[in-house]
Structure 1
Amino acid sequence: MCPSDAQPAHQRAEFDLDVLAPNGLRRGRTTGSCATAAVTAALRLLLHGEEVAEVEVLLPDSLHFLRVPIMRVFKMDAMAQGLVRAEVLKDGGDDPDSTHGATIFAEVRRNATGEVRFIAGAGVGTATLPGLRVAVGEPAINPVPRAMMRQAVALQLYGADLNSGAGGFDLTIGCENGHQIARKTFNPRLGIVGGISILGTSGIVEPMSLATWIASVEVYVRVALAGGADSVAFLPGKIGRDFAKDVLGLPEKRAVQIANFLGDSLDFTQTALAEEGRRLPVLWLAGHPGKLAKVLDGVWDTHSSKSNMAMGVVARIAAERGYPAALVEELANANTVEAAMERLKMEGDPARAQALWMDIEQRIGACVHGRVPAVDRVEVRLFDLHGNRLGA
């Protein structure tokens, strides 16, 4: 065992993937952990002449390491300072992960620059649009996996014989069949071409957790804001998508499907704008009031398991606008917000109903604006389940 191997075991505890997550499902390894393991194994052969079946990967929490099996590691030519390749099986645990079962590989060779350089191998994409965590033209290898791999290089250099070359390395990271796998992801929409992304902020895949979903929303928000966008639209679902495309004329990348994560999306927006030191002229919210009106009750995660339905909000504002008490009670007791809409239609005064919905839109906009002060104006448009506009 070389000194670089003893260090993580002595300083950190092992993260045991056999211990199930709280929901009873199995955790897995991120593509970032797999790539780091492959780099480590390749360096072990290149620098120490050791073919290993398992390596330890230090996790970003500075507290744990992960044992990762190596499928195979071999020299790709006969030269002592030549190219070495290592392969790792991506195990996403019980999480529905498009890269589960894929082979992540690293091809490592020395370079004369003294620097660690990242190269997109076959099946790993390249960024072509601004707003991602990596610059345009760079391999789609996110910052945390890059940091993990740089740390792996530093650890393997400890005690190695560097007389025959500088401490620089080219790390070519790839994924077998990654081009096909990427079609199942949002990479093509995000402007990542040629394959998958090497991702992960913790090194561990939490099964069926919302963390990956929320992280992807942050990426979509940043891509939407990139390039000095003067307006973007947040859509909780498919409702409002046609409005963003056909009425607002926004390109697809400027319309973000935020699901139930309105609060997170707004926070991501504020952070990104602050980092860029600029303001966003207008943020559009387009969707069903069953989701968006919940913010008027202080609800920012609109999933039904996290909040009550929004009929009470509609009823409360209807009361404030002078609707009869009996009708207000019917609205509050409706089974769904859609049913409340139908009840309002039965009143036979569409102009009054439109005014109610416009009032709700304006209140939502004001509430949301308080969470994103870097946005000049928030515009809200509400629609029924058929995509019909509720306001005037």
Structure 2
Amino acid sequence: MKRLRSGYTTGACAAAAAKGAAIAAISGELPLSSEIPFPDGRRVQFPLIRCHLDDGANSTARCSVIKDAGDDPDVTNGAEVSAEVIVTEAEDLRTAGIAIIGGTGVGRVTKPGLALPVGSPAINPVPLAMINEAVEEAFLELGRDIRSCRVQVTVSIPEGERLARYTLNSRLGIVGGLSVLGTTGIVVPVSSAAWTATISASMDVAKEMGVREIVLSTGRTSERAVEAYCRFPEEAYVMMGDYLEFSLQEAAGHRFERIHLAGMWAKIVKAAMNIPQTHVRHGALDPEQAISFLERISARKLDLQYLRGANSAREIYERLDRHGETEVISRVCLAALDYCQAVSGLPATVYLVQANGRIILTV
């Protein structure tokens, strides 16, 4: 079986372009590539294109990176991701620092419920941090004190508005372009055959190593949360991604004694609603359907009208949390537990994990 090639997120490409533009703006020389740090400590070098240095009083430069998503079927694969950097002397410490804004093709947040405030460019927290760190590195490498400068970074995706039509952005209230995403900087390919083969192979190894209880996680954050909480051997952890039903059936076929399922709210809700494949490609979670489901499973038949109009699963959870509806949240996890046990025929434990890696609830 061909090994699929990983690629790089839009956020990583933006950080590399920003560092290249910063180097050009500071030094007056156009770099051919830029090397940036990733959240896991690795460093990656990106080739740069369309580097340009403006004439004028301000130090202004632009660079671009062509996104390589590897073998992932990503709509943004091959897209140009650009950054313009303007460096000026700060009047004082209050005006010094890095400001990151969205340019052409970068969407703007218009609805609540996302990880970003309404009105801000759709550049998620990890890409923002990567861009900041990359630009700071450029100053450090060239011996320029960033504390005396005001640096404006404008991230653009020239084809972003067109490409956004093929995404769920408009439904989420992100208008005018794409989101700059990424939590690790790396795009892991999501070929169905490759992923399910990896799940099966991981369980084969676990069984051979004498593992009796298997941990299925929807992502690395959820996996790490259980690692810190349960201390199972490393072979017990299987990154199932969005292949929930397949993984449950495989666990049953491998005759494990127990399943541990770890995921964040949106994935746990999908499991509770008996949705076998949890990736948005196979259907985004409809907030209205989710709210109707929550009303049905509520023991006290609660009026959850205050959830109506929620834009995302995240916003539904935040509203429930603000209203202290721990019973509803618990019942969602119990419904997910029932689904896991019904599909696999095995006893199970479900862990609801927050984005910060903390386990909120275990059932």
Normalised to the residue count of structure 2, the TM-score between the two structures is 0.59
Contact 1:245/1:252 (CA < 8 Å) preserved in 2?
Answer: no
Spell out the pairing of 1:17-36 with structure 2 (5 A cutoff). 24-36=3-15
Partner amino acid for 1:90? K
Give the whole-Å Cα distance in 1 for the aligned partners of 2:48 and 2:123: 20
Spell out the pairing of 1:1-392 with structure 2 (5 A cutoff). 24-62=3-41, 64-75=42-53, 77-111=54-88, 112=90, 113-158=95-140, 160=142, 166-208=148-190, 211=219, 235-237=273-275, 251=308, 253=310, 256=313, 278-279=324-325, 282-283=328-329, 293-296=338-341, 309=343
Partner amino acid for 1:282? V
CA drift at 1:104: 0.5
Q: Over residues 68-88 of structure 1, what are the superposed CA-to-partner deviations in whole Å (9 max), with x where a residue is unaligned?
A: 11122102x311524311111
CA drift at 1:25: 0.4
Give the whole-Å Cα distance in 2 for the aligned partners of 1:177 and 1:35: 14
CA drift at 1:278: 4.9
Q: For residues 370 and 207 of structure 1, do their structure 2 counterparts lie closer, same or farther at Cα, with a shift above 3 Å needed?
A: closer
Q: Over residues 182-233 of structure 1, what are the superposed CA-to-partner deviations in whole Å (9 max), with x where a residue is unaligned?
A: 122222122212111111111111111664966xx959689x9xxxxxxx99
Give the whole-Å Cα distance in 2 for the aligned partners of 1:125 and 1:175: 10
Q: For residues 369 and 157 of structure 1, do their structure 2 counterparts lie closer, same or farther at Cα, with a shift above 3 Å needed?
A: closer
Partner amino acid for 2:51? V
Contact 1:233/1:244 (CA < 8 Å) preserved in 2?
Answer: no
Contact 1:273/1:280 (CA < 8 Å) preserved in 2?
Answer: no
Partner amino acid for 1:67? Q
Q: Over residues 48-102 of structure 1, what are the superposed CA-to-partner deviations in whole Å (9 max), with x where a residue is unaligned?
A: 122112111111112x100111122102x31152431111101100011111111
Contact 1:121/1:174 (CA < 8 Å) preserved in 2?
Answer: yes
Q: For residues 147 and 187 of structure 1, do their structure 2 counterparts lie closer, same or farther at Cα, with a shift above 3 Å needed?
A: same
CA drift at 1:132: 1.9
Partner amino acid for 2:123? I
Bigger Cα Rg: 1
Q: For residues 163 and 100 of structure 1, do their structure 2 counterparts lie closer, same or farther at Cα, with a shift above 3 Å needed?
A: closer
State the SS of the aligned residue for 1:144: helix
State the SS of the aligned residue for 1:107: strand
Contact 1:53/1:72 (CA < 8 Å) preserved in 2?
Answer: no
Q: Which has the higher contact order (CA 8 A, sep 6+)?
A: 2
CA drift at 1:124: 0.7
Task: Give the aligned length.
Answer: 265
Partner amino acid for 2:33? E
Contact 1:278/1:374 (CA < 8 Å) preserved in 2?
Answer: no
State the SS of the aligned residue for 1:158: helix
Q: For residues 35 and 101 of structure 1, do their structure 2 counterparts lie closer, same or farther at Cα, with a shift above 3 Å needed?
A: same
Contact 2:352/2:360 (CA < 8 Å) preserved in 1?
Answer: no
State the SS of the aligned residue for 1:36: helix
Contact 1:90/1:102 (CA < 8 Å) preserved in 2?
Answer: yes
Give the whole-Å Cα distance in 1 for the aligned partners of 2:40 and 2:180: 18
CA drift at 1:144: 1.2
Q: For residues 39 and 277 of structure 1, do their structure 2 counterparts lie closer, same or farther at Cα, with a shift above 3 Å needed?
A: farther
Contact 1:280/1:374 (CA < 8 Å) preserved in 2?
Answer: no
CA drift at 1:282: 3.2
Give the whole-Å Cα distance in 1 for the aligned partners of 2:55 and 2:120: 30
Q: For residues 188 and 48 of structure 1, do their structure 2 counterparts lie closer, same or farther at Cα, with a shift above 3 Å needed?
A: same
Give the whole-Å Cα distance in 1 for the aligned partners of 2:134 and 2:353: 40
Q: For residues 244 and 29 of structure 1, do their structure 2 counterparts lie closer, same or farther at Cα, with a shift above 3 Å needed?
A: closer
Give the whole-Å Cα distance in 2 for the aligned partners of 1:254 and 1:129: 7
Q: Over residues 212-263 of structure 1, what are the superposed CA-to-partner deviations in whole Å (9 max), with x where a residue is unaligned?
A: 966xx959689x9xxxxxxx9964447996865789676575675xxxxxxx
